[in-house]
């Protein structure tokens, strides 16, 4: 399918439905890495959310997401940052925590009653006696609680998994730099409309993320912190840059069904956004080094001298090129623009059927 004769369209912010989640069971968006199957894949989207069938070539601009644009411009980003695997949310989140999905390729794979047994970065931190926290905005979709064996076997979170309210409370404290643990994971959630997924308003998601980011920037902890803002997968929007080859994390083969397209875990998913926010980043920096999001694991492992979880995170670049630790260029964080959270014009901001074409 040729895309050269089509015009990219502006995605009206009330209607952010994505075209199609990439999947190893239907690698249509990549077109076997010809990158020409995105519109074909978008046919799986209900007509109500994509009546013209061209949402795969849509985009948002600075009028919708001014803070994201400004953060990427002022701090550091990458044009070669990928999701770990070409599939849906849950397997990619497994990679975020464990460096592998241990064969899983689908959001609908069942979870064992005691959780999956594979170790995560949180187990590595526990073994090294390094404190950590997992903050959530949505108590109904804490991914770690649904999956991690450490959490389920103990029957409680032992104080590690907490509401985002604690984050704000600590950052308001003049002693915040000494109160936060060394490693923190923050999850917006998937049932509260904040995750910028299809059918959710992207400005509402951004409106929830901005206070979390600004709270750190305006706190005493800012001077010694790094915040990495990213997504778990790309959602099926068109990209001309193909995935790149990577090592299989553990040799476990994908749990393919007869209807699935043959594939393996030896390549990344599609590109996803990344913003590295810290007083210590190189301002206005754009990395061109290919990495997937398990590079976050590699950065943590490098910082705390932890062993890799799998061959995948072991193979990643450690992200140190984003930083200049000789001098904090952004010790005084730049002011952020206001983030609009509603509709353009007079339309209600939660109407999922509105859109604007060129």
Q: Please name the residue that has the structure tokens 């902890």.
A: 221
Domains of the chain, with CATH numbers? 64-322 (3.40.720.10)
Highest mean pLDDT (candidates 81-90, 298-307, 342-351): 298-307
Question: 3-state class of 185 per DSSP?
Answer: strand
Least confident of 255-264, 290-299, 320-329: 255-264
Tell whether the model's pLDDT for residue 3 goes beyond 60.
no
How far, in Å, CA of 57 to CA of 42, rounded?
10
Tell whether the model's pLDDT for residue 113 goes beyond 80.
no
Q: Which secondary structure element, helix H or strand E, spans residue 292, and what is its range?
A: strand 291-292
Helix, strand, coil % in the chain, rounded to nearest 5: 30, 10, 60
The reported pLDDT for the residue numbered 153 is 58
Q: Please name the residue that has the structure tokens 């001298």.
A: 305
Residue pair 243/270 in contact (Cβ under 8 Å)? The answer is: yes
Least confident of 109-113, 153-157, 329-333, 352-356: 352-356
The reported pLDDT for the residue numbered 198 is 61
How far, in Å, CA of 194 to CA of 192, rounded?
6
Helices (H), the chain: 38-41, 66-74, 89-98, 121-127, 143-147, 149-154, 164-171, 176-179, 202-217, 295-304, 311-314
Q: What letters, b where the CB count within 10 A reaches 16 and e where it falls short, cover 121-153? A: bbbbbbeeebebbbbbbbeebbbbeebbbbbbe
The torsion angle over the Cα atoms of residues 281, 176, 274 and 86, rounded to 10 degrees, is 140
Tell whether the model's pLDDT for residue 268 goes beyond 60.
yes
Q: Which residues have a Cβ under 8 Å from the Cβ of 180 and sit 6 or more positions away?
A: 133, 170, 171, 221, 225
Report the pLDDT averaged over residues 69-74: 98
Comparing C-alpha atoms, which of 20, 49, 25 is closest to residue 355? 49
Q: Please name the residue that has the structure tokens 């750190």.
A: 216
Question: How many percent of the chain have pLDDT more than 70?
Answer: 76
Number of CB atoms found within 10 A of residue 155's CB: 7
Report the pLDDT averaged over residues 209-222: 96
Task: Write out pLDDT tens, residues 24-65.
Answer: 443 555 555 678 777 777 766 666 556 566 677 778 889 889
Report the pLDDT averaged over residues 168-179: 97
Report the pLDDT averaged over residues 87-106: 91
For the chain, the average pLDDT equals: 82
The reported pLDDT for the residue numbered 139 is 82
Distance between first and last Cα of the chain: 21
Rg of the chain over all Cα atoms, to the nearest angstrom? 20
The reported pLDDT for the residue numbered 325 is 96
Of 75 and 21, more confident: 75
Tell whether the model's pLDDT for residue 261 goes beyond 80.
no
Report the pLDDT averaged over residues 155-164: 76
How far, in Å, CA of 155 to CA of 208, rounded?
30
Report the pLDDT averaged over residues 236-264: 89
Task: Write out pLDDT tens, residues 33-43.
Answer: 678 777 777 76
Of 107 and 347, more confident: 107
Of 340 and 80, more confident: 80
Task: Write out pLDDT tens, residues 150-159.
Answer: 565 554 556 8
Q: Please name the residue that has the structure tokens 């990577």.
A: 246
The reported pLDDT for the residue numbered 210 is 94
How far, in Å, CA of 71 to CA of 204, rounded?
17
Token digits for 44?
């799986």
């Amino acid at each position: 399918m040729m895309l050269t004769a089509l015009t990219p369209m502006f995605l009206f912010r009330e209607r952010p439905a994505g075209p199609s989640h990439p999947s190893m069971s239907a690698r249509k968006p990549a077109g076997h890495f010809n990158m020409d199957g995105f519109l074909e894949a978008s046919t799986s989207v209900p007509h109500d959310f994509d009546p013209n069938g061209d949402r795969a070539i849509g985009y948002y601009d600075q009028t919708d997401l001014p803070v994201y644009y400004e953060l990427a411009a002022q701090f550091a980003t990458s044009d070669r940052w990928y999701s770990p695997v070409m599939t849906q949310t849950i397997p990619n989140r497994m990679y975020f925590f464990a460096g592998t999905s241990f064969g899983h390729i689908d959001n609908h794979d069942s979870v064992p009653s005691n959780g999956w047994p594979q170790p995560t970065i949180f187990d590595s931190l526990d073994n090294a006696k390094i404190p950590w926290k997992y903050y959530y905005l949505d108590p109904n979709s804490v991914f770690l609680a649904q999956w991690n064996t450490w959490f389920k076997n103990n029957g409680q979170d032992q104080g590690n998994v907490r509401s985002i309210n604690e984050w704000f409370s600590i950052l308001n404290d003049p002693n915040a730099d000494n109160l936060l643990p060394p490693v923190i994971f923050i999850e917006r959630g998937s049932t509260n409309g904040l995750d910028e997924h299809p059918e959710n308003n992207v400005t509402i998601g951004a409106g929830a993320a901005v206070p979390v980011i600004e709270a750190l920037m305006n706190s005493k902890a800012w001077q010694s912190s790094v915040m990495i803002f990213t997504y778990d997968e790309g959602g099926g929007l068109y990209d001309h840059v193909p995935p790149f080859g990577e090592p299989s994390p553990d040799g476990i083969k994908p749990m393919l069904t007869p209807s699935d397209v043959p594939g393996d875990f030896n390549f990344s998913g599609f590109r996803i956004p990344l913003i590295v926010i810290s007083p210590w980043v190189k301002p206005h920096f754009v990395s061109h080094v290919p990495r997937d999001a398990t590079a976050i694991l590699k950065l943590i492992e490098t910082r705390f001298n932890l062993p890799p979880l799998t061959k995948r995170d072991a193979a990643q670049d450690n992200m140190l090129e984003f930083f200049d630790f000789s001098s904090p260029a952004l010790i005084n964080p730049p002011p952020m623009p206001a983030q609009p959270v509603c509709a353009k014009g007079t339309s209600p901001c939660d109407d999922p059927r509105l859109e604007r074409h060129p």
